[in-house]
Amino acid sequence: MSRRCSWPWVGGGVGLAWLAFMVYLHWGLGYRFLRADALGYWRQSGNGLRAFNPFHVPGWPWLIALVRAVWPSARPIPVMATWSLVLLLLGTWAAYALVRAYGGRACTAAMAGWLYALWPVTGLMFATNLWADVPATALFLLGWLAFQRGYWQLSAPLLAYTLLTHKALWPVVGLWWLLEFLLHCPCRWPVRILATAFLLAPLAVFWAAGARELGRWNWMLASNWLIELRAHRWPAFAGVIDTCLMGGWKAWIKGCVLVGHLVLALGLAVWAARRRWAAGVAVSLAVVALFGVLNAYEVIAAVRFSRVLAVPLALAWANAFPAWEQHPRAVSLVWALNLLGHFVYGWYTERIFYD
């Protein structure tokens, strides 16, 4: 089993799983990739530095725009799909390398990589639908890895671009920076303050430029507040509570998925706190915060971005069950069922959600 835990096996397996799922979506389901957020990102990429959008920050469109600048006639789906695969592999490698950096065995690192790529229910769907989930989470894990390996100077620009790639990563980056970088950076406090300014400056400049262009200082958050954050009955965890109170089989299944992920994030936060592991506490509490603020319309995003828990989950699992590698058949069965769940969710997305 140790050979299959090496990075080439993990990276190759993730690439094949991604390709198989793309084939399934395109030829099996007739999935239309260029719609919803994906279409918005492509259009936004044509606006260059003035990619002001009340819902989306410009990091993902700017990566797409880099290819369009070199290859103006490039088709949207090949460009975005290629970027998505590259960033998925980078994120998988970062999760793998982080576990190794924390002293985990190769098979534990492989588990983290597979968890990142095939996060239960939503992992493959949101790695192939050309949205910004994978770019944002991959950049975050790369920034975390740079810090853990001693290259703290590199973590700031990577995390600064993460803030420009998806708003859901704001609490993740913010808590990680507060609990990990500011408290554990091997640099003096004046340098930490300057690094924090460098972290926030790109987002602040873009926000100010958008305010000047659009004439509203709150342009970046107003639409999110109205559609994704505002809840009418509950002060916190409204998305989870309202979903559980809805009727029907879809709400029941979704509620179980939400509660399961919330309990997982809380459990990992407690586990990391007992071991005084600041980074683990930060990412776990950030995911809990996403569940706490998103309404029923958008709370599934908290599940999507729970993939940042791949590293603490793999380490916690190996700590609780040190002999898990000795049961390859059971492990293979679990991963096969997990992969099947992705194909079921892909069918649900195309045949029910978008129908």
DSSP string, 107-146: HHHHHHHHHHHT-TTTTTHHHHS--SHHHHHHHHHHHHHH
Measure Cα distances from 296 to 68, 178, 260, 302 in Å.
36, 29, 16, 11
The reported pLDDT for the residue numbered 215 is 86
The one-letter amino acid at 332: S
Q: How is residue 193 written in tokens?
A: 């303050």
Q: Which of 71, 111, 39, 45 is nearest to 317 (CA)?
A: 111
Q: Report, as ranges of residue numbers, the positions in the chain whose pLDDT lies below 70.
A: 1, 226, 228-232
Q: Are 41 and 60 in contact (CB under 8 A)?
A: yes
The reported pLDDT for the residue numbered 327 is 84
Give the separation between CA 239 and CA 259, rounded to whole angstroms.
Answer: 11
The H or E element containing residue 57 is: none
149-182: burial string, b at 16+ Cβ within 10 Å, e else: eeebeebbbbbbbbbbbbbbbbbbbbbbbebbbe
Question: Which domain does 324 fall in, by range?
Answer: 3-353
The domain total for the chain is 1
Three-class DSSP category at 154 = helix
Q: Is 48 left (phi over 0), alpha (psi -120 to 50) or beta?
A: left
Q: How many helices (H) and strands (E) does the chain have?
A: 18, 0
The reported pLDDT for the residue numbered 296 is 87
The reported pLDDT for the residue numbered 232 is 64
220-242: burial string, b at 16+ Cβ within 10 Å, e else: beeebeeebbebeeeeebbbbbb
